[in-house]
Structure 1
Amino acid sequence: MLRLIFVCFAFSLLPLAATADESASPPSPRQPTHTYTLDNGLKVIIREDHRAPIVVSQVWYKVGSSDEPPGQTGLSHALEHMMFKGSKNLEPGQASRLLGSLGASENAMTSRDYTAYYQTLSRDQLAVALELEAERMHQLALPEDEFLKEIEVIKEERRMRVDDNPNGLAYERFLTQAYMASPYSQPVIGWMHDLDRMQIEDLRAWYRAHYMPANATLVIVGDVYPETVKPLVERYFGAVPTRTPLPIRTPLELPGGGERSLVQHLDVQLPSLLLGFNVPSLGTSPAPWEVHALRLLNAVLDGGHSARLASNLERGNSIATSVGADYDPFTRGDSLFIVSGIPNLSREVSLDQLETAIWKQIDLIKQTPPSAAELERVQAQLVAGLVFAQDDINNQANRIGALESAGLSWELIDQDVEALQAITPEQVSEVARRYLVRERLTRTTVLPLANKEAQP
């Protein structure tokens, strides 16, 4: 994980790892899951979990920032905000007030691959959530006066998260270099100059182009049964008109764009290093084992207190005060394998020395596969995280919706444990040799402004 170094704004699908001394619980029995498609193209996935009398209802649209054309960044996120500003039969904010009066919680999220809306509520109130989302799917109001107010809120959100946040700004700039060909280089929240010139008609056109049953997935998880849920879904969503969605394009990156380096002078207290390698995701790799091996490689390097980076660079040689790795395998397009760190200034360690030490750890795993015991430990950590995540119906629904929205199957949830346990030590070394190479590398160093001012 990236520990207190850089901030990533995309929704993370990686489960929390267990601590190093935890053993994975045996996988729980597969939960009853039912899927079907309405005549208008809406895919419906119902997953039963009867441990508590609650349910989560989510609508996922297969549109995110990577679908936005240059010059119109931020459309998906801005439309997410406007979905709460009224529809044909609801005034701005009325849906939220209604859900609040029922004790429900609601929220929404936009990523590079999708935009999602969700409510968690008592099982006997599910019809309310379905009716609200069905109306918003095809009868959104999009009033201009509300847009003019909300776009200023979004601009302030950008200032707070990015422009006035050195770590957020550094990471955003890093992505523009790491993705040479992929639209993943575009910020989810949008560039400020695109927000400045965004018009309500832009959002209305985006809504018409992407918000429709055939471009959406309805995910329902909780204390429900398909025979009672299906009539409700048909009642509220079945009447939504069908339209043909635009084709979805997979964001692909160059296999080897050449080593790139970016130096940033920002208002930070400590210098830091970020190394990103272009790698495939489960949505782009023709060999899924590679992706699972990359997940385990990430865990070998940064899977808890006993992982190699922390053991050798933070504690062993005290090269770094913080060092970690991160990899998101569940994206529609090509992903990044990231290693980042802060040098130990108390020992006068430079950024170059930190990078040399990181490369030494990478080269070691390229040359010598992890031992069977080490691989079993990190496999147990990941499996434990997957098992524990099933305790939360929101986590279950999030994984189902995000997988489907990335063009993957929800069934991967039930296959994930076996996929991880099938990886061998040699396969972990193989993906390190294949992908953690300099021709796939983007490096950014972030230096305090004082360093720039001290230069002659």
Structure 2
Amino acid sequence: MIKKSFSALALVLIGAFSQAQEIKFQEYDLPNGMHVILHQDNKAPVVTTAVMYHVGAKDELANRTGFAHFFEHLLFEGTPNIKRGEWMKIVAANGGTNNANTTDDRTYYYETFPSNNEQLGLWMEAERLTHPVINQIGVDTQDKVVKEEKRRSYDNRPYGNILTAIKEGLFKKHPYKNTTIGKMKDIDSAKLEEFKTFFKKYYVPNNATLVVAGDINIKQTKEWVSDYFSTIPKGEPIVRNFPKEDPITKETEITYYDPNIQIPAYLYTYRTPSDKTRDAKVLDMISSYLSNGKSSVLYKKLVDNEKKALAVQAINLGEEDYSIFAFFAIPMGQTSEATLRTDIDAEVKKLQTDLISEEDYQKLQNQFENQFVNSNSSIQGIASSLATYHVLQGDTNLINKEIDIYRGITREDIRDVAKKYLNSNQRVIINYLPEKK
């Protein structure tokens, strides 16, 4: 009773705190279609200027994979007004930091400066969009950089190509079958004009969302945004018509070999609905219940108590068109794949049949309340969330409302969603094995 009362009290206190953290913002469109989101927070003298382009790996041609990620690097090469190699130096010299990242669905660039350099951040992002230098020198330079990243993070890293195996198993038609970093042969065989064509199609204001967050003056910021971005010509509308995947109705099994491992891994993978759906949020909670932390169901059973696995995890990877739910397990000693599968399936069956305990449910709610608060604990985090909710979810105010979706998920929802998506006839088993000698 004491533990249960404490959990309920903690939920109330955290809920009250998160309500107090409402993120206020203004949003509007420029005449050229660029979406602008402004968030004023004058508590600290910093400002983040960020642009999210609605272009990712899924937008690439079949034989030109890796383009979206390549541009994440290429667009730091400079402009007519920023000499090659000077981008990072300008940022650092003005007390700032910057970075970029790419997913299957979008590409994101940002700078964080002391607030007296807000105008500099806006100018730099406008430069990037208006007239980046895309030439053979830059392509050749970034080709080497990306190849090294691929070697370090994927090809030479133990278990580094697990996502490659998952995508190849789950997707046959949709471009999610390709990885974000792509195939280096596609980049190597591309002509310079193809890079310019990709930029012209996707790096246009009507495919971009600008976020300015932090210690700003709204009126002044709007004037600068208009000065730097409103005259950039609008691009052609982007039409997406990706092929739909056939439902998975029969369990299949594939094998993938990794020369960098000595111990196999086994994956049980499911294609699930878009991250925009409520069911995707329920699957988030299911993954947390099963494997978030040492007190989670699968960790306690397979790693801690029965010593059958070195590692076990349930992952929900949300994406714009489809999502991925995957169980990942590395066996301990002579534990067989069949044993791991049977034990994982048994826990899934419990979810599909019985309601989780009220105590476990309150624990889940507390975890998601904490995640919500922490995701908006910095100006950089707020800027990223604002852009993501607008571009990928279609509702910027989910930065405040999404937690209510999780709060509304019931124990019955958890049971029903597990029963709907996590069945053996809906999955692909992946045997991720050491390469044969």
- Does the TM-score normalized on the shorter chain lie above 0.5? yes
**Residue 332 of structure 1 is aligned with which of 314, 320, 333?**
320
- The amino acid of 1:310's aligned partner reads Y
Name the CA distance, whole Å, in 2 between partners of 1:343 and 1:351: 8
Aligned equivalents of 2:325, 2:217: Cα separation in 1: 40
Q: Give the corresponding residue for 2:169.
A: 177
1:275 CA displacement: 1.4
Q: 1:299 aligns with which of 266, 288, 292?
A: 288
* Equivalent position of 2:342 in the other structure: 356
The correspondence for 2:208, drawn from 210, 216, 227, is 216
Q: Any conservation in 1 of the 2:163–2:179 contact (CA below 8 Å)?
A: no
Is 1:412 aligned to 2:404, yes or no? no
Shift of 1:297: 1.1
Partner of 2:332: 344
Does structure 2 retain, via aligned residues, the 8 Å contact 1:123–1:224?
Answer: yes
- Supply the distance in 2 between the matched residues of 1:99 and 1:48 (Cα, whole angstroms): 22
1:370 to 2:359 alignment: no
Residue of structure 2 equivalent to 1:381: 367
Shift of 1:250: 6.1
The 1:253–1:379 alpha-carbon spacing in structure 2 relative to 1, beyond 3 Å, is farther
Query: How far apart, CA to CA, are the structure 2 residues paired with 1:225 and 1:252?
Result: 45
- Relative to structure 1, the CA distance from residue 324 to residue 47 in structure 2 (aligned partners, 3 Å threshold; closer, same or farther) is same
Quote the offset at 1:252 in angstroms. 4.6
Specify the SS of the correspondent of 2:49: strand
1:228 to 215, 220, 231: 220
Displacement after TM superposition at 1:402 (Å): 2.1
Task: Report the counterpart of residue 16 of structure 1 in structure 2.
Answer: none
Shift of residue 257 of structure 1? 5.2
1:312 aligns with 2:301: yes
Once superposed, which parts of structure 1, at least 4 consecutive aligned residues long, lie more than 6 Å away?
none
Select between 209-218 and 22-31 the one with higher mean Cα deviation.
Answer: 22-31
**Structure 1 SS opposite 2:159:** helix
Distance 1:108 1:323 in 2: 30
Aligned mate of 1:106, from 63, 75, 98: 98
Query: Of the candidates 263, 267, 272, which is equivalent to residue 265 of structure 2?
Result: 272
Q: Is the 8 A contact 2:49 2:118 kept in 1?
A: yes
Following superposition, the deviation at residue 22 of structure 1 comes to 11
Distance 2:416 2:234 in 1: 47
Q: How many residues align?
A: 425
Identity value in percent: 27
Report how far residue 156 of structure 1 moved.
2.4
- Per the TM alignment, residue 75 of structure 1 is displaced from its structure 2 partner at its CA by 1.1
1:439 aligns with 2:425: yes
Cα shift at 1:187: 1.4
What CA distance in whole angstroms lies between the structure 2 residues aligned with 1:46 and 1:215?
Answer: 18
Distance in 2 (CA, whole Å) between partners of 1:102 and 1:391 is: 24
- Residue 390 of structure 1 and its aligned partner are, at CA, apart by 1.7
Structure 2 residues not aligned, in runs of 5+: 1-6
Gaps of 5+ in 1: 1-19
Q: Note if 1:46 corresponds to 2:35.
A: no
Tell me the alpha carbon deviations over residues 352-411 of structure 1, each in whole angstroms, 9 at most, x when there is no partner: 211111111111111101122211111110111111222111111112222322242221
Q: Take 2:171 and 2:374, find their aligned partners in 1: how far apart are those partners?
A: 33
Give the aligned partner of residue 86 of structure 1. 78
Aligned to 2:416: 430
Match of 2:118 in 1: 126
TM-score when scaled to structure 2?
A: 0.92
- Identify which range, 408-417 or 123-132, moves more after superposition: 408-417
Q: Where do residues 390-409 of structure 1 align in structure 2 (5 Å cutoff)?
A: 390-409=376-395
Residue in structure 1 matched with residue 311 of structure 2 by the alignment: 322
- Superimposed CA distance per residue, residues 63-112 of structure 1 (whole angstroms, 9 cap, x where no aligned partner): 01101110011111122211111212221122321111001101111110
The offset of 1:201, in angstroms, is 1.1
Higher RCO (CA < 8 A, seq sep 6+):
1
Q: Alpha carbons of 1:255 and 1:146: their partners in 2 closer, same or farther (altered >3 Å)?
A: same
The within-5 A match list for 1:45-64 is: 45-64=37-56
CA distance in 2 between counterparts of 1:255 and 1:49 reads: 46
**Residue in structure 1 matched with residue 3 of structure 2 by the alignment:** none
Q: What displacement does 1:251 show? A: 7.2
CA contact (8 A) 2:23 2:399 kept: no
Higher mean Cα deviation, 382-391 or 66-75? Answer: 382-391
**Higher mean displacement: 270-279 or 206-215:** 270-279
Q: Is 2:229 the counterpart of 1:237? A: yes
Aligned to 1:9: none
Distance 1:280 1:22, change over 3 A: farther
Name the SS for the 1:167 alignment partner: coil
After TM superposition, give the deviation of residue 136 of structure 1 in Å.
1.4
Three-state SS of the structure 2 residue aligned to 1:445 is strand
Q: What is the rounded CA distance, in whole Å, between the counterparts of 1:127 and 1:98 in structure 2?
A: 13
Distance across 2 between alignment mates of 1:207 and 1:193: 20
How far 1:166 moved relative to its partner? Answer: 3.9
Residues 424-444 of structure 1: CA distance to partner in whole angstroms, max 9, x if unpaired? 111101011100012321211
Q: Which amino acid aligns with 1:372?
A: E
Contact residue 23 and residue 381 of structure 1 kept, 8 A: no
Q: Secondary structure at the match of 1:406?
A: helix
Aligned CA-pair RMSD? 1.9
